Amino acid sequence: MNFTMEDIERIKASCDYIEMIKQLKRIGVLACNYDVTTGVFTYYGDNKHVLTEPSNGLQLTPEIEVNPDAVQNAVEKITQGLINYEDFCHEVALAGVFSWEVNLELLHIEYKNKEGQVLMRELIPSFAD
């Protein structure tokens, strides 16, 4: 059975970060991609199953010149709860991030520039399934 947008919305609304990752994996999400310029998340599953979430309204224009240190700083701040999601999106856009991909199989997040080059790879803490 393929996951639905309702499944994803329910999980995102009811879980902390680690539990959300567990639940997304449980329903079959293999990866998701966030496009900073459109504010759109796209979710990928088995058998080419793809769902695109409507824009969250954060349609930002990232800087062309990248600043990997600023990406790292923004990731640290959101991980520590010092900034909210919207502020995080603004900070990584200013640092040159155009998208990020969450890989639930390899348990990492890759922040990418306009050309798709990885600026930073963040490891997702592992957990028992």
* Domains contained in the chain, number: 1
Q: What parts of the chain have a pLDDT lower than 70? A: 1, 127-129
Distances (CA, A) of 50 to 38, 44, 47: 17, 5, 9
Instruction: Determine the structural domain holding residue 93 and report its residue range.
Output: 5-121
pLDDT of amino acid 14: 84
Is residue 129 situated within a structural domain?
no
Find the CATH number of the domain harbouring 106. Answer: 3.30.1810.10
pTM over 0.85: yes
Residue 91 inside a domain? The answer is yes
The per-residue pLDDT for range 19-50, each reduced to its tens digit, is 888 899 999 999 999 999 999 999 999 999 99
| Cα dihedral across residues 76, 61, 108, 54: positive or negative | positive
